[in-house]
Amino acid sequence: MSQKKAPFVLALAALVFAPVLVSAAHSAFAGQNPVTRSTILKKAKGLQVTNYVLRLPDAYIVYEPSKDVFQIAALDAVLSYGDGWERRQVKPYLFHIRHQSWKNHFWKVNTSRKEVYLVWGGVFGRIGTKPGAAPALEVDGEREDITLDVIGGAGDRVPERFFIRFGEADLFFDPVARDLRLAAAGVTLSPCDDWEACSLKDYLFHVRLKTWKGFFWKVNTSRLAAWWTTGGDFCKLGGEDKELALTMKSFQRPFSLARLRTVLAAAEKTRLREIADMIEAGRPIAEINKASVEFVRQFPGVDVDAAVSAIAKDIKGLEAQMEELRNKRQEFQTSFENFDQKANQLFNILSTVMKNMKETQQGITRNLL
């Protein structure tokens, strides 16, 4: 990838700041009201927290375009019904999807090629041009190491449904702060605001998606095990248990992986500014990636999206150059198209930086356990 600095390449990074049907394994998943819990966990005041990670095998996102049905599932349970997810079909075989917590990136899903790409920057939900609209920036992105299974819609036709398979997802649990977060492939799939947790004992908890009815998960942090519980009441002892086929680990760190930080400290901003300077100076991608990996190792509790956004903001002269380009877009259309091509290079660099950062963060978590 070329690292050559161009006059207009850096400007468009400001654009990003302008603007997965599973057949339910248990028919009782849908149309339910949450049970009011009798005990509510209080937020922790200290920074030193014990995190627990429930590793869920065979996790996946499934999406049925014709009905706009989107679910995240694992262990025969629906973990999310798509709350907070946006999806756009930009071609019969091409989809853009993202969670609302992803501020500046999205996944580009190509069902014809059965590939998923991480795209930082670009325009979500549109490619090409529309009457009266400026050309949308087409960013290639960085290919993810994710399996994409497609049902129906051979070739360039619209698929019946597709599955984004992660093999394993992580459900982070901070019991004192009552925080949960579902993640896979180094990104947040859900902040689990539609989940609830209840403490029965210091080491025993019930957790569930609020729409689950007739069952919940029981988590024992002492035994590091979890069970599918039926025939009992949420937040009360009792019921029949079936152990879940997952692994559970714990570790203590001065930050919570259940809720990553988006507000950056001064030292973190300084390091990210240095990475921005490297991109502006056209340093080799290997050097940029090395610096981004070192940042995550030093500050593992920082949200990666927030970090890459800070890098883009630190690139000098973006807002002024972008405004000038907007004003002259019609007059210099050819130049703008050339600018789009060069900006694509910059956004591909940022896509690569983000992919390396999230993979490093994911690796750090696994090494801690």
Distance CA 318, CA 314 (A): 9
Let me know whether 140 and 201 are in one domain: no
- Shared-domain flag, residues 305 and 338: yes
Q: Which of 105, 118, 163 is nearest to 144 (CA)?
A: 118
Q: What local confidence, expressed as pLDDT, does residue 7 receive?
A: 37
> Regarding predicted confidence, which is higher, 25 or 192?
192
Residue 325 confidence (pLDDT): 52
Band the pLDDT of 50: cuts 50, 70, 90.
Answer: confident
- Would you state the structure tokens that stand for residue 265, as one six-digit string? 């400290």
31 found inside a domain: no
- Do 231 and 148 lie in one domain? The reply is no
* pLDDT reported for residue 203: 94
Q: Tell whether 145 and 85 lie within a shared domain.
A: yes
In a domain, 44, yes or no: no
Q: Among the three residues 224, 253, 282, which one is the final residue of a domain in this structure? A: 253
Summarised one tens digit per residue, pLDDT across range 257-307 is 777 888 899 999 999 999 989 988 888 989 999 999 999 888 888 888 889
Question: What local confidence, expressed as pLDDT, does residue 198 receive?
Answer: 94
Contact between 138 and 125 (Cβ < 8 Å): no
User: Could you give the CA distance from residue 210 to residue 94 in angstroms, rounded to a whole number?
Assistant: 32
The pTM of the full predicted model, rounded to 2 decimals, is 0.71
H-run or E-run covering 51: strand 49-57
Tell me which amino acid residue 272 is.
L
- 212 and 264 inside one domain: no
Task: Say how far apart CA 158 and CA 128 lie, in whole Å.
Answer: 19
Closest by alpha carbon to 179, among 302, 48, 43? 43
Per the prediction, the chain carries an average pLDDT of 80
The dihedral built from the CA positions of residue 26, 32, 37 and 43, taken in this order, carries a sign that is positive
pLDDT mean over 217-222: 96
Q: What is the DSSP string of 180-246?
A: EEEEETTEEEE--TTEEEEEEETTEEEEEETT--SEEEEEETTTTEEEEEESS-TTSS--EEEE-S-
Count Cβ atoms within 10 A of the Cβ of residue 89 and give its class: 0-12 exposed, 13-18 middle, 19 or more buried: middle
pLDDT digit string, tens, across residues 165-186: 998 899 999 888 888 999 998 8
pLDDT at residue 122 is higher than 60: yes
Give the C-alpha separation, 87 to 70, whole Å. 9
d(CA 255, CA 47): 6
**Maximum Cα–Cα distance for the chain, whole Å?**
72
Most confident of 14-28, 30-44, 136-150, 246-260: 136-150
Instruction: Output the pLDDT for position 28.
Output: 37
How high is the pLDDT of residue 346? 77
Burial class from Cβ neighbours inside 10 Å (0-12, 13-18, 19+) for residue 67 reads exposed
- Domain final residue pick, 124, 144, 165: 165
Q: What pLDDT does residue 1 have?
A: 45
Average pLDDT on 90-97 reads 95
Residues 111-137: what's their mean pLDDT? 79
More confident residue, 189 or 356: 189
Structural domains in the chain (count) = 3
Pair 64, 141 in one domain:
yes
Residue whose entry in the numeric block shows the structure tokens 């490297």: 278
Check whether residue 234 and residue 265 sit in a common domain.
no
Residue 233's pLDDT band (boundaries 50, 70, 90)? Answer: very high
Q: Residue 230: which domain range?
A: 175-253
Quick one: 58 and 75 in the same domain? yes
pLDDT above 80: residue 60: yes
Domain finish residue from 198, 227, 253:
253
**Any domain includes 114:** yes
Tell me which DSSP letter residue 145 carries: S
pLDDT in tens, 304-361: 888 988 888 887 655 455 555 555 544 544 444 455 555 667 777 888 888 888 788 7
**Average pLDDT of 43-58?**
73
C-beta atoms surrounding 333 within 10 Å: 12
Residue 210 within any structural domain of the chain = yes
Measured between alpha carbons, how far is 216 from 229 in angstroms, rounded to an integer? 5
